[in-house]
Amino acid sequence: MLSVRFDYKLWIELDGLKLGHGRIKVLESLLRTGSISATARELSMSYRYAWGIVKKMSSANPPLVRVWRGGPGGVEVTEEGRRVIERYREMERGVERVVKYGPSPSITVDGVVLSGGEVLLVKRARPPFENMWALPGGFVRYGERLSEAAVREVEEETGLRCEILQFVGFEDSPLRDPRGHTITAVFLLEVTGGELRGGDDASEARFFSPNNLPPLAFDHGDILKKALRGNL
């Protein structure tokens, strides 16, 4: 009888620190217990070994945990640490879905944010299209609504809080993203607060006149043309 076994190794790398299944379990235990000693007991490891992992996590940039000195091994998992846990488990579920059902397109969102007749763009800090301008956006998280993802991505990449004005449509060309087949949902948004800055995958965020746009990444030039019809 033919027996097929699939195995894989998954990790996130942050500031030279690799976080695989074991270290993610440590981070999750610290989030639950807030204690190095409790985590060591829960995961059947020595306090010294657990402390070594915690020390590396606290030295990451940005730090994944904060250690309360003078206390009984007290630890707080930072917002970045929580994001790393969420991202790792999201990636893990994605791999499991591919193994179970086969490959499928990834779902993304793009936000068209207008203010004073200008459109918000971000300069990409990572490949593909590194250092090119693009619409703020990114991948939808597991269990997240498309509209929620659009609002979240805009705030993460630009610092601006927004609300949805309308759904513009989908772009689904299998060739639109060099990383693979993605289907993006495009939303028109308006600014409600926050402070403009580049963040997350964006090194810079800025408003541009639609008549003086820089070259845009992906198919964002075509997306903007469709979104701006009747909205300026």
The catalytic residues are: 204
The torsion angle over the Cα atoms of residues 47, 48, 49 and 50, rounded to 10 degrees, is 50
pLDDT digits (tens, 9 = 90+) for 26-59: 999 999 999 999 999 999 999 999 999 999 999 9
pLDDT value of residue 5: 66
Identity at 40, one-letter amino acid code = A
Report the chain (232 residues): mean pLDDT per 10 consecutive residues: 70 89 95 94 95 94 85 82 91 81 88 95 93 95 93 96 96 93 96 92 93 95 88 54
Could you say which of 39, 73, 100 is where a domain stops? 100
Q: Is residue 2 part of a domain?
A: no
Identity at 67, one-letter amino acid code = V
pLDDT value of residue 70: 52
Tell me how many domains the chain contains: 2
Phi-psi region of 182 (alpha: psi -120 to 50; beta: other; left: phi over 0): beta
CATH number for 188: 3.90.79.10
CATH number for 80: 1.10.10.10
The answer on 140 and 29 residing in a single domain is no
Q: Please give the Cα distance from 189 to 109 (Å, whole number).
A: 12
The answer on 195 and 120 residing in a single domain is yes
Distance from the Cα of residue 42 to its chain's centroid:
29
Report the percentage of the chain scoring pLDDT > 90: 73
Which domain covers residue 127, as residue numbers? 106-228
Residue 219 backbone dihedrals phi, psi, to 5 degrees: -105, 30
Query: How many degrees, rounded to 5, is the angle at CA 160 between CA 157 and CA 161?
Result: 115
The answer on 130 and 78 residing in a single domain is no
Mean pLDDT, all residues of the chain: 91
Could you say which of 70, 100, 130 is where a domain stops? 100
Q: Is residue 79 part of a domain?
A: yes
pLDDT value of residue 75: 93
The answer on 120 and 93 residing in a single domain is no
pLDDT value of residue 231: 59
Q: Please give the Cα distance from 194 to 181 (Å, whole number).
A: 33
